[in-house]
Each structure stands twice: as C-alpha cells, then as structure tokens.
A and B are shown apart, each in its own frame.
Chain A
Amino acid sequence: MYVAVKGGEQAIEAAHVQLAEERRGDRAVPELTLAQIEQQLGLAVDRVMTEGSLYDRELAALAIKQARGDLVEAIFLLRAYRTTLARFGASVPVDTTRMTVRRRVSATFKDVPGGQILGPTFDYTHRLLDFSLAAPEGEPAPRHVASGPMSAPASPGSDDQPMSAPPRVVDVLDREGLIEPERPDEDSRAVGDITREPLVFPAARDVRLQSLGRADEGFVLALGYATQRGYGRNHPFAAEIRLGAVELELAPEELGFAITIGELTVTECQMVNQFTGSATAPAQFTRGYGLTFGHTERKAMAMALVDRALRARELGEAPLTPPQDEEFVLYHGDNVEASGFVQHLKLPHHVDFQSELVLLRTLRAEAGVAPVVTSP
C-alpha cells in the first residue's frame, strides 16, 4: 500500500547537516580563514564583490567560504545580505582621473602621459603550472619590485609620481575633438537604482551600466566576444585600462562639502570605438565604458564592448544582434536570477506534468493508439 511521503522537514535538516560537513571537508586539513581567502583568493573576492554589488572584502570572503567556492552562490549570499541594508545616501561620482594607479595600459598609443604600467597581470605569464606552489610555504618572501612604468613617462615632470593620477587617454582624444564628448545628463535627475526599481525599456545608460556591472562575467564576456566576431561589431580599441584606488566621497547635505569616507579599488576600461558622423556632424570616435570592483579586468573590458553595443539605437545603428538588444542583454545577464530559474526545474512539477499526461493520452487515444493496460 502506498503511503504518502512525509518528513520534508527532517529531510531538509539532514541535507543542511550534510552540506556543512561537505563544506568543512576532511577535518585533518586546517580550516580556511577569511583572511586567507581575502588575501590569496583575492580575484575571487573581487568577482563576488562586483557581481554581488557590495564592496566588502571580508563579507565576500565569508560568502565564498560558506558557498564552498561556488562563486555564483557566494554572489547570491552577498546580494541577499545587501538587500537588507539601509540606503543612507549616494556618493559623489567617483573620479577615476584621481586614481592611484597600480596598473595602467593603453593599446592606442605607444606611450601616454603617465606611462604604461604593467602592474600585477597574468598577461605575459606562460601558463605553466608552477609546481613550486604545490609545496608548503617556507620559501623566502619574493624580492619586492616596485611596479614601475615600462618606459620613461612621455610627459616630463611626471617622473616623481608616475603612478598617481595620470590623465585619461580618452581625454587626449577629446581635446582634439576626435571622440564624442561625455555629456552629463541634461536634467539633474537622480541616478537609477536597479536594486530598488524594476527595469523599464528603453533603459537609460546609467541603468544599463549598473546591470552590466553586476551581470555574470561569463555572460558579458560571451556577448563582448560575439561583438568582436561580427554580432554587433563596433571596432573597439582599448584606449585605456586602469586599476587602482579611488577615494569614495559623500557630501552630506548639512555639511555642504564632500568628505572622504573610504577607498575603493576599481578596474576601469575605456574603449574607443568606430566613428559616426553625418553631413552635418563631422566624424568622431564613440565610447564604450566598463567599471568593476577590484581587479576584474576581463569583466571590465567585456562590459565596455557590450555597453557600446547597447548604444546602437542612440548612435543610429540598427540593433540587429543579441549584444545590441537591451531586453535580451539586461534581462538575461543576472546570474542570481538565471541560476535560480534554471535550477527551479528541479522543484516538483508533477501537477503540471500530470496535466500534460492526461492531455497527451487523450490525443493519442483519439489518434487510435491503444492504451497500454496498466495494473490497477
């Protein structure tokens, strides 16, 4: 005799106990500390902060530990925490021209004022497994090398502090009028907040950039890559990629001036893209922009490509490909939403499925297919 399955509550509890055990792994192996994650898995922390839309290295490290290294799960944990936090104000826009730069490269000029600074990059590593890392530590600390410029700075006088606040490469083009100017919003409307207001279309660029900023790195990467292969091609040049610390400022109304409340490490990518022009307006380069928390260069570059692709309509291009389609991009880039909806298919659907069975059997019976007799 069939007895309806009971005990969902105990099953869930048991699952959580097993999960905790699996997370801890073999207890003979020392437990990870948050400091270890924050220091030695720093790029994972950066990704979780970026897509979790919360700049807090310690909380991101905690999320990574709790999620057993599943970064999308860690991003979800951070988001679910973030959503409970009060909003007490909006910062003054971050000024990346005042960045203390750790890395800064331009692909559009051989040298630029402030110099090219390679910084901590995988770019020229040979991807050979370094078996020395497999051995326990104890080796002497590596010789510290200041991350200096690759060449003498082009502009004399900047030798003293070549890394502090180099001018933006796009501004060099801007001074010559070669690139579209960056215009502040005509009205002084408040910046959108996609965590408080639902998306509406057409979406403004601030909302698009916010969505791309927290969008899944893999999704944005694939779309950016697709633009390079012809799906919404926009002829990009990496005018500048910079990584470094910027000050975060808040201007409380009662104070009347801005005060620094902290420092953020960000990666910024400015792409220079194919020019537009008409009989009335002379040709100019266009822009694509990417900005992410921490050192998340792949994401920032892909974001700049997709930002530019999404400006299709504004720049008079026919939005014919997925990367140019803002509904497609903005509705499907969020990995917390996507992961949930894809995985919800594992929840019970047996009522809907029963409805389908009833209909399918009816259709087959009407088509003259004899039903297979089932035992009662």
Chain B
Amino acid sequence: MSGYNFAFLDEHTKRMIRRALLKAVAIPGYQVPFGSREMPLSYGWGTGGVQVTASIIGPDDVLKVIDQGADDTTNAVSIRHFFRRTAGVRTTTRADEATIIQTRHRVPETRLAEGQIVVFQVPIPEPLRWLEPRETETRTMHALEEYGVMHLRLYEDITRHGHVETSYDYPVRVNGRYLMRPSPIPKFDNPKLDHSPALLLFGAGREKRIYAVPPYTSVRSLDFEDYPFTIERWDHACALCGARDAFLDEIVVDDKGGRMFVCSDTDYCERRRSGT
C-alpha cells in the first residue's frame, strides 16, 4: 500500500517491539512493557497481536488469522485483509501451511510445528488482575513469586463449587516461574501450550505489554494433587466432521431448545471432511 511502510509500522517501531519480544522470549511468561502504538483498528480488536505480527512478518511469510478458531469470522477477515493490504503477504486458512498464525481465543487443533509462530491477541495480560487491581502491586507480587492468592482463589472455588470456576484464560505457570494468562483461550487449549514446538508470542496493545513462551517450554495449568486440571468434554461429536477430539461450538438451531455442535476450528473441520 503506498504511503505506508511494509506491514504499516515504521522500522523504528518494529525494532522497539522486536527488542521487547527478545526480552520476553528470554524471560518466559514475564510481561515486558512496550511503547504500544495507536493502530488503525480499535483497541480490543487485536492491536497488540497486530503490532507483534507486523514486527515479525516478512514478505515470504504465510499468514493465517483466526478468531474463535474460525478463519471466516469478521475480525479475522478484517485483520487478514489488513496484512494483505499493508504487507502483501500470502495468507492461508491451513494451519499446517502458515508460518505465522494470529489468533484470538483459540489454539488450532492441528498440531503446531517447529518454526511456526503463534501470535495471541491479549485483552488483559495480568493473571493477578482480578485479585489485585493495582499494577504496582502485581509487579511486586511477580517479582517475589508471591502467587499464593491465586492458589487460594482456586481452593475457594473448589470448596464452594467442587470445581475451579475458571473455564477460559485459565492461569498457567511458565517454566516453573512466572504466572501467566494464556489469553482468553478455553482451558481446553491450555495443554497445547505445554512444550509446544512453536514459538508463542502474546501482545496486549491497550495494556502495552508483550510476553512469550519459547518452544519446548513447560506450561503448567494450576491445579492441586487431589483436584487435577481437567478440560472441557462434550457428549457430542462434531455434527459436520464427526470429530470427538475438537473444541465444539454450540449452535442454536431453533427456538425449541434445538442445539447442534460443530468444530470451532473451521480449518480442521473442513480438512477432515475433504480428507486433505
């Protein structure tokens, strides 16, 4: 696109963001403050993820963008269009073809591979935020590895409800050190982060934070010995492709209580149906 640099951001900004990314990779799970820019799309629409992608993307990259697991949701379409327009890169819906996958709220069902980068859009990066609203406090808590309040919170959930009440954005411990929000992915996706062969980058634009999980790094969902971490299960298979191992979207099909369950990962579902 004329009048703008490749992938929109100027090179100085990209360098600043890449430095933050390097620091984030060096300290897995640690939130690195960065000089987040105002982007031409709204805060909350993925400005952090877009800035991370813009800083790492090159002309030879192949980009996949998903929102809620799907390539055809409006915001995924819009972000994919943004990079086609500003960087002219090739885009794909196939998770196994992409070199960069920008995502909101899901990790693809297709197993990630070495050399791939997943960029997560993050609304609130601080895992302790609902327990302590002050940034000055939570930074100190991270520095002192003072995570007891989170365990206490999970314990209280179990005593009151028999379960941890968090179903998405479920807190994880990275590399045995930092407590991290995996972004609002369902806890179903948490196990995919553990020792992932792909590099995982997290961008929070409005909150001006970047963090990362390098390949093959331990990512443990918090739990207790007698209450181990579990993921969502469905009594149904995908009504389209028959998958029993995928995260399912619930579609309301009529006003008489009719429901249908289909894969949230549209690429996975389509490829299972077409056998590719």
Q: Are A347 and B67 in contact (CB under 8 A)?
A: yes
Could you give, for residues 236-276 of chain B, a 1 whenever the CB lies within 8 Å of some chain A CB and a 0 otherwise? 00011000000111110110111110101010000000000
Q: Are A201 and B135 in contact (CB under 8 A)?
A: yes
| Nearest B-chain residue to A73, judged by Cβ | B42
In the complex, what residues of A have CB within 8 A of residue B69's CB?
351
Q: Are A5 and B72 in contact (CB under 8 A)?
A: yes
The CA-CA distance from A374 to B261 in the complex, in Å, is 12
A315 contacts the other chain (Cβ, under 8 Å)? no
A82 contacts the other chain (Cβ, under 8 Å)? yes
Q: How far is the CB of A350 from chain B (nearest CB, A)?
A: 6
Per a CB cutoff under 8 Å, which of B4, B33, B186 touches A354?
B186
Q: Are A354 and B249 in contact (CB under 8 A)?
A: yes
Q: How far is the CB of A5 from chain B (nearest CB, A)?
A: 7
A126 contacts the other chain (Cβ, under 8 Å)? no
Q: How far is the CB of B44 from chain A (nearest CB, A)?
A: 3
Q: Are B39 and A80 in contact (CB under 8 A)?
A: yes
B77 contacts the other chain (Cβ, under 8 Å)? yes
Known: A8-B77, A351-B249. A344 touches B43 (CB 8 A): yes
B162 contacts the other chain (Cβ, under 8 Å)? yes
| Nearest A-chain residue to B105, judged by Cβ | A351
Known: A2-B239, A8-B77. A374 touches B257 (CB 8 A): yes
Q: Which segment, of B109-117, B146-154, B163-171, B221-229, faces chain A?
A: B163-171
Number of A-B contacts (CB under 8 A): 156
Q: Which segment, of A163-171, A277-285, A356-364, faces chain B?
A: A356-364
Q: Are B168 and A356 in contact (CB under 8 A)?
A: yes
Q: Are A363 and B249 in contact (CB under 8 A)?
A: no
In the complex, what residues of A have CB within 8 A of residue B254's CB?
375
Q: Are A375 and B208 in contact (CB under 8 A)?
A: no
B216 contacts the other chain (Cβ, under 8 Å)? no
Q: Are A84 and B10 in contact (CB under 8 A)?
A: yes
The CA-CA distance from A7 to B72 in the complex, in Å, is 7
| Nearest B-chain residue to A200, judged by Cβ | B33
Known: A198-B208, A201-B135. A344 touches B38 (CB 8 A): no
The CA-CA distance from A357 to B250 in the complex, in Å, is 9
The CA-CA distance from A359 to B258 in the complex, in Å, is 20
B188 contacts the other chain (Cβ, under 8 Å)? yes
In the complex, what residues of B have CB within 8 A of residue A293's CB?
none
The CA-CA distance from A138 to B35 in the complex, in Å, is 52
A31 contacts the other chain (Cβ, under 8 Å)? no
A131 contacts the other chain (Cβ, under 8 Å)? no
Q: Are A12 and B74 in contact (CB under 8 A)?
A: yes
B64 contacts the other chain (Cβ, under 8 Å)? no
Q: Are A4 and B266 in contact (CB under 8 A)?
A: yes
Q: Are B45 and A347 in contact (CB under 8 A)?
A: yes
Per a CB cutoff under 8 Å, which of A6, A198, A352, A373 touches B35?
A198
What total of chain A residues lie within 8 Å of the partner, measured CB to CB? 53
Q: Are A374 and B67 in contact (CB under 8 A)?
A: no
The CA-CA distance from A372 to B68 in the complex, in Å, is 27
In the complex, what residues of B have CB within 8 A of residue A336's CB?
38, 43
B145 contacts the other chain (Cβ, under 8 Å)? no
A316 contacts the other chain (Cβ, under 8 Å)? no
Q: Are A8 and B10 in contact (CB under 8 A)?
A: no
What total of chain B residues lie within 8 Å of the partner, measured CB to CB? 70
B187 contacts the other chain (Cβ, under 8 Å)? yes
In the complex, what residues of A have CB within 8 A of residue B40's CB?
80
The CA-CA distance from A351 to B127 in the complex, in Å, is 20
The CA-CA distance from A340 to B50 in the complex, in Å, is 15
Per a CB cutoff under 8 Å, which of B4, B35, B38, B167 touches A356?
B167
Known: A348-B68, A355-B167, A358-B234. A337 touches B43 (CB 8 A): yes
Residues of chain A from 43 to 80 with CB closer than 8 A to chain B in the complex: 76, 79-80
In the complex, what residues of B have CB within 8 A of residue A327's CB?
133-136
In the complex, what residues of B have CB within 8 A of residue A351's CB?
68-69, 105-106, 168, 185-186, 247, 249, 264
A343 contacts the other chain (Cβ, under 8 Å)? yes
Per a CB cutoff under 8 Å, which of B78, B165, B167 touches A12?
B78
| Nearest A-chain residue to B270, judged by Cβ | A4
The CA-CA distance from A348 to B105 in the complex, in Å, is 10
The CA-CA distance from A359 to B187 in the complex, in Å, is 11
B196 contacts the other chain (Cβ, under 8 Å)? no
Q: Are A355 and B75 in contact (CB under 8 A)?
A: no
Q: How far is the CB of A84 from chain B (nearest CB, A)?
A: 7
Could you give, for residues 197-232 of chain A, a 1 whenever the CB lies within 8 Å of some chain B CB and a 0 otherwise? 111111000000000000000000000000000000
In the complex, what residues of B have CB within 8 A of residue A11's CB?
74
In the complex, what residues of A have CB within 8 A of residue B45's CB?
340, 344, 347
In the complex, what residues of B have CB within 8 A of residue A76's CB?
38, 42
Per a CB cutoff under 8 Å, which of A6, A196, A343 touches B42?
A343
Sorted nearest first, the 5 A-B pairs with minimum C-beta distance are A344-B44, A340-B43, A355-B167, A8-B77, A198-B208
